[in-house]
Amino acid sequence: MTLKSFVAAAALVAVMVPAAQAQTSQADVLTIMKSSFKERGIAKLDRLDQNELQKQCSEYSTRPMPAPMKAALEKAALDDVKYPADGRFLGDWKVGERIAQSGVGLQFSDNEKTVNGGNCYACHQISKEEISYGNIGPTLYQYGKLRGNTVEIQRYTWARIWNAHAFNACNIMPRYGAAGILSEEQIRHVMALLLDPASPVNR
Amino acid sequence: MADPMKIRAVVRNGVADVRVLMAHEMETGQRKDSSGKLVPAWYISEVTGALNGKQVLKAYWGPAISKNPYLQFKVKGAKAGDKITVSWVDNKGEKRTDEATAS
Amino acid sequence: MSVIRRGAVAIGAALALLVAAAPTLSQAQSNTQAELEKYRQMLGDGNPAELLVMRGEGLWKTKRGPKQASLEGCDLGKGPGVVPGTYAELPRYFADTDSVMDAEARIVHCIVTLQGIPRADAVRNPYSGAGQRQTDMEALVAFVVEESRGVTINVPQKHPKEIAAAQRGEKIFYFRGGPYDFSCASCHGEDDKRIRLQDLPNLNKDEPARRAFATWPAYRVSQGAMRTMQWRIYDCFRQQRFPELDYISPASIDLITFLGVRAQGGKMDSPAIKR
Amino acid sequence: MNRNRRTSLQVAGSAGLYGALLAIGLLRPGQASAQSLEQAFKTAGIAETLKALGAAGAPESKDIVINAPDIAENGAVVPVGIRSGLANTQMMALLVEKNPSALAGAYDILDGAEADVNMRIKMGQTSDVFAVVKADGKFYVAKKEIKVTLGGCGG
């Protein structure tokens, strides 16, 4: 092998090895993280301790996750969904709208008394009246009108809000029910915003 | 003492385009501090602009002008080398005057 | 490779959105974007960070601290006393501390070593609060970064510690945690995404990564203050629902190194002005 | 507070004297308008504020241009310009209907200045803004809606 072709080959290898798989280990990173953050108020250091889902989703951020692993994460997420005990899925869409608008809660600048918002408009279009909406998630405008308000759709939507990884492991949406961000009652109100025929979403 | 202003005056076709940045909190009087106490209103209440010492503009402001105020105005009959002077006074009586040469 | 794949996914997603959105809504959205562009352009006319740059320059040249020295002898990577162009090549490895430092860590180092101010004092309150005068640290950073305006970003990857920092930084970028399960990539891994109406740079892509790095520090009109790159990272983690990031901590410098390397070839345009 | 405004007021004399000077043409109307402004800065709503400015019932004019974006990304800083094409423009003011006090700023356009100013204002919410112009002793208005949007994912 000539020096020139060796250099070219080495360069090729360098390009092909994803940087994420270089010598830095996840353990090194966790050590660095833990030494760089401090707890403040409600945000304790244990927030850096990743659960299985977080760990695997981080690991496979830059390369495809093996299908069986993805399926297993999705099954675990779906099994984890807690449906309302009394079978009541829908609350008050007006309260749901306020929850969808609010982005506070769980930050170190919040406290125990802060009522968590759903932050829905940060990522989704929902009602047509709110022009300041994000597009990380799909539009939810006319969500109920397009899908109907059947029990199946209600159960599906509930599960999607509770733990969206049930349908697409490692997607971006927070696990509103599973991670305790919103209460069961709050989720009912958000459900109503999406599904109630009287909600501005469906009018 | 108040921080200096930044004044830029550029002459085109005999008109000086004057842009001024002022360092000021412009407190509305409606904000609460971390202990929940109302922070008193504190804002620039008057600004004057002058060309070679002759007043051409007088502004009266309330606390609805943004923090670190920006003001742009145009002066007729100006040429490069002219002196543009801007002065402000706030509702506590603090004041500041700065000068720029038009280019 | 992953960049290309993600790009393709993003294009697919964008097409799906185009097909799905009703014409009236997408038209309203483009009007919104045009008006926001006008808003941003009008802001660009006068950046209050210029006032802070003037203050920072004065502060840089003022004799302070127990040693009554100015910061004019500070070595920001191009030798003692050289400020122009340095920000565009930071973070970098410094032999005197045997570590990779970003601009803010290096300025703190100079405050401690040249002026004799205790480190704890230098890093105590780096960010100004609501209604407070901007901190000395913010003013100094404003001055230093202004001296690199127009300079090409060239964050070095020569020393093994520089390479290791960028590698750890990439892992931190993808580290999902906290009650929201967010990583940096949750918001900064795809094209043309927004939170509310704020555009999110896709930091996996050259152009947006360059633009993002080039325009921090920036004057944030929503806060009435110029914010530094350290603050940008700190506040992203706050909104990710992580604990509080320490000022100039190793993780922050690793992440900034990764972002700087991703931004290679961009031109510094800071302090910028943003919402 | 408003020490400086009081000073202007004293210079102009009492309101009665000011009016008398105006009437006999010794003072240019629009100049030293501090006396009406003192009150105008305290009023809410457009109608009350126009009244305090002495501009109640002013007609709309197409010669007044409000230069501002339709949408502001943040209410803390909203860039707004007023330009008047009306002959002999003496005073220009900007009012925000839904702010606690409507009057944001007023400008005496003296000899040597063009009737063209740009400023940045705070807006608490989406609102109509009004430009009030006094030209040749008469008042005119123009209006424009500016939408103020919410931002970020932590608020």
CATH number at residue A55: 1.10.760.10
- A60 and C171 in contact (C-beta within 8 Å)? no
Check residue C4 and give its pLDDT: 41
What domains can you pick out in chain C, each with its CATH number?
A: 49-274 (1.10.760.10)
Element (H, E) at A202: none
Is residue C98 over pLDDT 50? yes
Check residue B6 and give its pLDDT: 97
Cross-chain residue pair B65–D119, CB shorter than 8 Å? yes
Backbone φ/ψ region at D51: left (φ over 0), alpha (ψ -120 to 50), beta? alpha
DSSP state of A71: H
Half-sphere exposure (CA, 13 Å, Cβ side) for D36? Answer: 23
Cross-chain residue pair B39–C131, CB shorter than 8 Å? yes
Tens-digit pLDDT profile for residues A111-128: 999 999 999 999 999 999
Tens-digit pLDDT profile for residues B13-66: 999 999 999 999 999 999 998 888 999 999 999 999 999 999 999 999 999 999
Show the tokens assigned to B97. Answer: 């005057």
Residue A17 is assigned to a structural domain of this protein: no
Residue A22 is assigned to a structural domain of this protein: no
Confidence of residue C26 (pLDDT cuts 50, 70, 90): low
- In whole angstroms, give the CA distance from residue A100 to residue A73: 27
Chain A residues within 8 A of D126 when measuring between CB atoms = none
Q: What are phi and psi of D97, to 5 degrees?
A: -55, -45
Chain D residues within 8 A of B93 when measuring between CB atoms = 3-4
Check residue C33 and give its pLDDT: 87
Give the 3-state secondary structure of B55-102.
EEEEEEECCCECCCCEEEEEEECCCCCCEEEEEEEECCCCEEEEEEEC
Number of B–C residue contacts, CB under 8 Å: 40
What domains can you pick out in chain B, each with its CATH number?
A: 6-27+37-101 (2.60.40.10)
Which of A28, A40, A54 shows the shortest C-beta gap to C177? Answer: A54
Any A CB within 8 A of C112 CB: no
- D106 and D90 in contact (C-beta within 8 Å)? no
Check residue D7 and give its pLDDT: 35
Give the distance from CA C33 to its chain's centroid: 24
- C273 and C47 in contact (C-beta within 8 Å)? yes
Tens-digit pLDDT profile for residues C61-91: 999 999 999 999 999 999 999 999 999 999 9
Confidence of residue A12 (pLDDT cuts 50, 70, 90): very low
Mean pLDDT of C147-168: 98
Any B CB within 8 A of C275 CB: no
Show the tokens assigned to A106. Answer: 């769980």
Chain D residues within 8 A of C195 when measuring between CB atoms = 151-153
Check residue C24 and give its pLDDT: 62
> Top-level CATH class of D32-148?
mainly beta
3-state secondary structure of B16: strand
- In whole angstroms, give the CA distance from residue D37 to residue D31: 11
Show the tokens assigned to A176. Answer: 């509103």
Exposure string of A174-201, with b = 16+ CB inside 10 Å and e = fewer, is: bbbbbbebbebebbbbbbbbbbbeebbb
Confidence of residue D153 (pLDDT cuts 50, 70, 90): low
Check residue C6 and give its pLDDT: 43
- C175 and C254 in contact (C-beta within 8 Å)? no
| ipTM field | 0.85
Mean pLDDT of D42-62: 95
Is residue D154 over pLDDT 90? no
Half-sphere exposure (CA, 13 Å, Cβ side) for D25? Answer: 1
Check residue A26 and give its pLDDT: 81
Residues near C21 by beta carbon (within 8 Å), at least 6 away in sequence = A139, C29
Domain boundaries, chain D: 1-30, 32-148
Alpha helices in B10-71 (DSSP H): none
**Cα four-point dihedral sign A53, A56, A60, A61:** positive
Q: What type of residue sits at position A141?
A: Y
Confidence of residue D109 (pLDDT cuts 50, 70, 90): very high
Cross-chain residue pair B68–C50, CB shorter than 8 Å? no
Q: Which domain holds residue A201?
A: 37-203
Mean pLDDT of D127-144: 97
- In whole angstroms, give the CA distance from residue C221 to residue D151: 12
Q: A22-31, B76-85, C216-225, D92-101 — which is least confidently predicted?
A: A22-31
Q: Count structural domains, chain A.
A: 1
Place of tokens 């294009």: C11
- In whole angstroms, give the CA distance from residue A124 to residue A117: 14
Check residue D10 and give its pLDDT: 35
Strands (E), chain A: 37-38
Distance in Å from the first CA to the final CA of chain B: 28
Between D150 and D16, residue with greater pLDDT: D150
Chain D residues within 8 A of A103 when measuring between CB atoms = 152-155
Give A127 to chain D, closest Cα distance, Å: 15
Cross-chain residue pair A174–C180, CB shorter than 8 Å? yes
3-state secondary structure of D103: strand
- In whole angstroms, give the CA distance from residue C216 to residue A161: 35
Q: Closest by alpha carbon to A193, among A136, A132, A117? A: A117
Tens-digit pLDDT profile for residues C226-265: 999 999 999 999 999 999 999 999 999 999 999 999 999 9
Show the tokens assigned to D59. Answer: 């007609």
